[in-house]
Structure 1
Amino acid sequence: MELRDIEIFLTLAQELHFGRTAERLHVTPARISQAIKRQERILGAELFKRTSHHVQLTPVGSRLRDDLTVGYRQIQEALATAAAAGQAITGELHIGFAGAWSGNLIVAAADDFRTRHPNCPIHMHESPMSDPLSPLRNGNRDLQLVELPIHEPDIVSGPVLFREPRVLAVPPGHPFAERDTVSVEDLADAPLITITEQPQYFLDHHYPHRTPRGRHIPRGPSTTTWQGVLALVGAGKGVSPASARAAHYYSRPDIVYVPFRDAPPVEYGLFWSNTGNTPKVRAFVRAIVEAASRETGSRPIPPSARRPGPLH
């Protein structure tokens, strides 16, 4: 007997009614009748006495019911256990981030994630601004929360989780430091400190070579870390665009943050390797999307809706 035939027999033995058995198993009464007749033919014994008004087990049917019930329950429990194990989120998640505010969002998401998936610990790693994708590619990170844009064939782009106004970090004695706002055109009047080891399209987006009117933007020193950017700005070596939250998280006496009045916002999103689309990655993406929605009061932006403009 196949497992489905056993299920049909045991359900009919419980209901003693072909119609109710068919309803429970979402089949027709004819399907039930055919299955029982086939079982009786194989066993060579009658399992049910049936009339137009009554169905009851024969002695052979009663004995078969008793013998099958315990084994069938064990099979069902084993299948349920296997299904639960297959759907369980276990192992570890290593998540990289750039910027303290991104780390705070990951912490909020991790709290929710651990409640749902206690057997999957979260490990957070601050990522350097330069070459943020290598940890994904070498398997040291499962996810990265970094600034956009990222356009790589082996990297999956998740939703934009939040947007931040763009500011310009300048030293206190700089002429820009006394202004209420600056323009992208003003970048032509100060050396721009840049980050190295980023894709060229990323650099062109955040550190353009020309203003919207075509004026040349001079280059200052470059560095590989955000702390290096701040040190160079504070030393008067140039200026650098930044997220508005930098003013709160990286306040320094040698840095003034001046808002742009005409620059697009800085966008932050999740990324993972196209070979790392695992159940635990998908589960954490859902958790951080929910956390970002609570923080910002709006739904994160899907990749297809992104229209971030460069500075120039």
Structure 2
Amino acid sequence: MDLRDIEIFLTLAEELHFGRTAERLHVTPARVSQSIKKQERRIGAPLFDRTTRVVRLTPAGEQLYEELSVGYRRIMHGIDAVSAAARGITGTLRVGYSIPWAGDVLLQAGRVFRDRNPGCAVQVQEIQFNDLLGPMRRGEVDLQISEFPIDEPDITAGPVVFSEPRVLIVPADHLLARQETVSLEDLAQVPLIAARQIPGSLLDFHFPRHTPDGRPIPRGPAYTYWPEVLALVAAGLGVSPAAARAADYHDRPGIAFVPFRDAPTLDYGLLWPADSRAPRFIHAFIDTVCESAGITRHDAD
């Protein structure tokens, strides 16, 4: 029994459907059927009970599955480990995120990446918005997902991983909280709570000084850490723009999330150092992140 026949048997034992097995392995259903018949002739007993409605393992099939699955996983793990080492995919990749939903994507991608590259470890850590590029510049992270736009000569801005509609976080008792939507022009009516110490490109985009029509936007208190924003808004000291998904992660009493009807999306993308400090395998991880986010690298570039 060759490795391909073992793979067909194990996949059919998991799927219990010839069509799905063929699709998963990129072969024809006839190839699956021929392989199983060959294995049954060799074993001397049927491995599957097959009817027009159902496919199930026989006792002999169940025993064979138990015996083969452990060994197959060890073989594939060994092949992956050697292949990863040959491609230079070994060592530790340190990745960061500045928003929790990006952390979810990175953790999922990290699990997939470690399974594919057993010689590699992935460490995931949170990055504060007020020190967005500091960890990368200090060599503490190799790659991160953060808010765009980033226009810095020492940082490479890679593909956008996902985009979010924008909302305005307002005090729950404010007049704007009663509206179904808000406009960028509404920012001229209320103090805007802005972040301290962020790149100029982010400051201009996220916390503008004027509305599109040129009206000045009053400044409210500045914040260092994101939880401060929620407290400041709840206290009625100003408003803050955010991604729509922030309502799923940061909702609390005293605030409301009102969608913008005319604001561009908030884009979140991958960043890494422009110099040679990044590990050789960073682009393999970028591909895995894009896959986990449900996009292709070509679409993201």
The answer to whether the superposition gives a TM-score over 0.5 is yes
Q: Give distance in 2, aligned partners of 1:262 and 1:298.
A: 29
Aligned residues of 1:292 and 1:300 also touching (Cα < 8 A): no
Which blocks of at least 5 consecutive residues in structure 2 are unaligned? 1-80
User: Which residue of structure 1 lines up, in the alignment, with residue 65 of structure 2?
Assistant: none
**Matched residue, 2:106:** 106
Cα deviation, 1:217-267, whole Å, max 9, x if unaligned, reads 000000111111111111111000000000111111121000000000000
SS at match of 1:267: strand
Secondary structure of the residue that 2:198 maps to in structure 1?
coil
CA contact 2:106–2:289 (8 Å) conserved in 1: yes
Where do 1:1-312 residues align within 5 Å?
85-275=85-275, 276-293=277-294, 300-302=299-301
| Identity score, percent | 48
Report deviation, 1:84.
6.7
Per-residue Cα deviation, 1:27-66 (whole angstroms, up to 9, x for no partner)? xxxxxxxxxxxxxxxxxxxxxxxxxxxxxxxxxxxxxxxx
Please, which moves more after superposition, 261-270 or 272-281? 272-281
Larger displacement relative to structure 2 (181-190 or 121-130): 121-130
- Asked if the contact 2:193–2:238 (Cα under 8 Å) also holds between the matched residues in 1, the reply is yes
How much does 1:83 deviate?
8.7
Distance 2:286 2:233 in 1: 35
Tell me, in whole angstroms, the C-alpha distance in 1 between the residues paired with 2:84 and 2:245. 42
Whether contact under 8 Å (2:244, 2:259) holds in the other structure is yes
CA distance 1:84–1:234, change in 2 (3 Å): closer
Q: How many residue pairs align between the two structures?
A: 220
Query: What's the offset of the Cα at 1:287?
Result: 0.4
**Per-residue CA distance 1:256-295 (angstroms, 9 max, x = gap):** 000000000000000001123432211111100111126x
Larger Rg: 1
Q: Contact 1:293–1:299 (CA<8 Å) still a contact in 2?
A: no
Name the SS for the 1:121 alignment partner. Answer: strand
**Partners in 1 of 2:82 and 2:123 — Cα distance?**
28
Q: Distance in 2 between matches of 1:118 and 1:164?
A: 33
TM-score, length of structure 2 as denominator length: 0.70
Q: TM-score, normalised by structure 1?
A: 0.67
* Inter-partner Cα distance in structure 2 for 1:83 and 1:244: 41
Cα distance, 1:154–1:262 mapped onto 2, change above 3 Å: same
Q: CA deviation at 1:202?
A: 1.2
TM-superposed CA distance for 1:299, in Å, is 6.5
Structure 1 portions without partners, runs of 5+: 1-80, 303-312
**Aligned residue number for residue 25 of structure 1:** none
Find runs of 4+ consecutive structure 1 residues off by over 3 angstroms.
Answer: 81-86, 297-300
Q: Which amino acid aligns with 2:284?
A: A
Greater Cα offset, 265-274 or 229-238? 229-238
For the structure 1 residues 167 and 141, does the alpha-carbon distance in structure 2 shift closer, same or farther, using more than 3 Å as the test? same
The RMSD of aligned alpha carbons is 2.0
Cα distance in 2 between the residues matched to 1:290 and 1:163:
15
Q: How far apart are the structure 2 equivalents of 1:235 and 1:126?
A: 27
Report if aligned partners of 2:96, 2:127 keep a CA contact under 8 Å in 1: yes
Q: Deviations over 1:96-126 (max 9, x none)?
A: 1011111111111112101111221111111
Contact 1:234/1:255 (<8 A) preserved: yes
Helix, strand or coil: the match of 1:233?
helix
